[in-house]
């Protein structure tokens, strides 16, 4: 019995580690300027800004590992919005979408920053904090909704999302140059390609999520219910949409919690239920804890029985 429990625990731990690795993914949302000024040629060249951006993105996509998920969000242009949704990679679809891109219209950057950041927060919640999360803004002008841009930038950074901005052939630095993680000027096609490659080279280097093995090692001494509560709490923290506090999001999900303090029913002592779509590794970890507990109990009883038999002899 004891040997069986040990083997089962080892097998479940291995399966849990592999399942957790499957949940891990780096995530990048590219917010690309599709305004009318992107139709203009870059200084000293005949290459239009939008074409230089498309070529640079096509080049960097060919070098990314399959685990990096990339979404493409275009503001203005003839097809604004999600050109390529964030999710599992389909590079052929990405390249076709790039080819079809055209420029035209204004520069509502702030609105699309929030849209991209909110999608990254959804991905982080679904991945239980695994992976890295990055917002890359590629633009050639100041935002027409500069008030929203200024308001949203610190909120996005406070959520733990890295923000990089590339100014494409701009006469002056962008409004966000000193308000984000990194700012790069790209005054020619080669500089634009280098800037995008540098941003993607940083992907995955600093991971704010709870994906390290140490995080799970610290749970090994927890009772099963307590360990589950910790995992749920880590997964839910800091993933409310931009401009919405975590407390407000919780009240929207559970209006009854707004009633204030009062008698606590006995059922509330249980840990909160896990979010929907819980990945398999959570159940495997819980099952491993249970098996370890059973194994310890069986071993303890066997040792007690052995000591009793020795005394009788």
Q: Domain holding 130: CATH number?
A: 3.40.50.410
How many other C-beta atoms are found inside a 10 Å radius of the C-beta of residue 145? 18
Same-domain status, 35 and 85? yes
Same-domain status, 9 and 88? no
Residue 144 domain-assigned (yes or no):
yes
Domain count, the chain: 2
Residue 295, CA atoms < 13 Å, CB-side half-sphere: 15
Question: Rounded to 5 degrees, what angle do the CA atoms 229, 231, 237 make?
Answer: 95
291: its two tokens? 């098996």
Contacts 24+ apart (CB under 8 A), 142-147: 142/107, 142/174, 142/175, 143/107, 143/108, 143/109, 143/110, 143/175, 144/106, 144/107, 144/108, 144/109, 145/108, 145/109, 145/110, 145/111, 146/110, 146/175, 147/110
> Torsion angle, CA of 297/302/304/308, rounded to 10 degrees?
160
Residue 294 domain-assigned (yes or no):
yes
Same-domain status, 47 and 193? yes
Same-domain status, 9 and 46? no
Q: How far apart are CA 137 and CA 114, in angstroms?
A: 12
How many other C-beta atoms are found inside a 10 Å radius of the C-beta of residue 171? 9
Residue 136 domain-assigned (yes or no):
yes
237: its two tokens? 């923290």
Taking the chain (313 residues) in runs of 10, the rounded mean pLDDT of each run is: 54 49 81 95 95 96 92 85 93 93 91 96 90 96 92 92 96 93 96 97 66 48 53 58 67 47 39 43 57 64 61 57
Residue 311 domain-assigned (yes or no):
no
Q: Of 182, 187, 122, 177, nearest to 150 (Cα)?
A: 177
The pLDDT of residue 80 = 80
Contact residues for 203 (Cβ-Cβ < 8 A; gap 6+): 26, 28, 64, 68, 132, 134
CB-count exposure of residue 181 (10 Å: 0-12, 13-18, 19+): middle
Boundaries of domain holding 247: 2-20+211-255+269-302
205: its two tokens? 């280097």
Q: How far apart are CA 137 and CA 44, in angstroms?
A: 24
Q: Of 44, 115, 47, 46, nearest to 75 (Cα)?
A: 115
Q: How far apart are CA 244 and CA 246, in angstroms?
A: 7
Q: Of 142, 146, 129, nearest to 24 (Cα)?
A: 129
Same-domain status, 197 and 248? no
Q: How far apart are CA 248 and CA 96, in angstroms?
A: 40
Whole-Å CA distances, 43 to 52, 107, 255: 12, 20, 56
Report residue 287: phi and psi, to 5°: -65, -35
**Location of structure tokens 């360990």:** 227
C-alpha torsion sign, points 27, 281, 216, 250: positive
Same-domain status, 242 and 176? no
| Last residue of one domain, picked from the residues 164, 179, 201 | 201
Same-domain status, 132 and 49? yes
The DSSP code for 268 is G
Q: How far apart are CA 269 and CA 263, in angstroms?
A: 12
The pLDDT of residue 274 = 38
79: its two tokens? 């097809």
The pLDDT of residue 277 = 44
pTM above 0.75, yes or no: no
Residue 289 domain-assigned (yes or no):
yes
Q: Of 74, 173, 122, nearest to 276 (Cα)?
A: 122
């Amino acid at each position: 019995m004891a040997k069986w429990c040990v083997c089962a625990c080892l097998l479940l731990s291995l399966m849990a580690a592999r399942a957790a690795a499957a949940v891990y993914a780096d995530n990048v949302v590219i917010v690309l300027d599709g305004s009318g000024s992107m139709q203009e040629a870059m200084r000293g060249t005949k290459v239009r800004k939008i074409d230089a951006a498309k070529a640079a993105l096509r080049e960097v996509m060919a070098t990314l590992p399959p685990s990096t998920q990339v979404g493409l969000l275009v503001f203005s242009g003839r097809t604004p919005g999600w050109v390529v949704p964030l999710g599992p990679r389909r590079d052929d679809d990405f390249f076709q979408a790039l080819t079809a891109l055209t420029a035209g219209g204004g520069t509502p950057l702030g609105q699309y920053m929030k849209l991209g950041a909110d999608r990254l927060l959804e991905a982080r919640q679904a991945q239980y904090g695994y992976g890295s999360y990055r917002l890359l803004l590629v633009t050639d002008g100041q935002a027409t909704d500069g008030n929203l841009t200024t308001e949203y930038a610190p909120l996005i950074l406070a959520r733990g999302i890295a923000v990089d901005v590339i100014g494409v052939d701009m006469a002056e630095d962008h409004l966000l140059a000193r308000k984000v993680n990194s700012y790069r000027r790209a005054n020619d096609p080669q500089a634009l390609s280098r800037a995008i490659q540098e941003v993607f080279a940083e992907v995955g280097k600093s991971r704010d999520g709870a994906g390290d093995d140490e995080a799970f090692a610290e749970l090994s001494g927890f009772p099963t219910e307590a360990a589950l509560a910790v995992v749920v709490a880590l997964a839910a923290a800091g993933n409310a949409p931009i401009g919405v506090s975590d407390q407000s999001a919780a009240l929207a999900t559970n209006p009854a919690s707004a009633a204030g303090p009062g008698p606590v029913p006995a059922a509330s002592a249980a840990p909160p239920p896990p979010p929907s779509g819980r990945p398999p590794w959570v159940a495997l970890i819980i099952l491993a804890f249970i098996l370890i507990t059973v194994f310890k109990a069986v071993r303890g009883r066997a040792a007690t029985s052995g000591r009793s038999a020795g005394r009788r002899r």
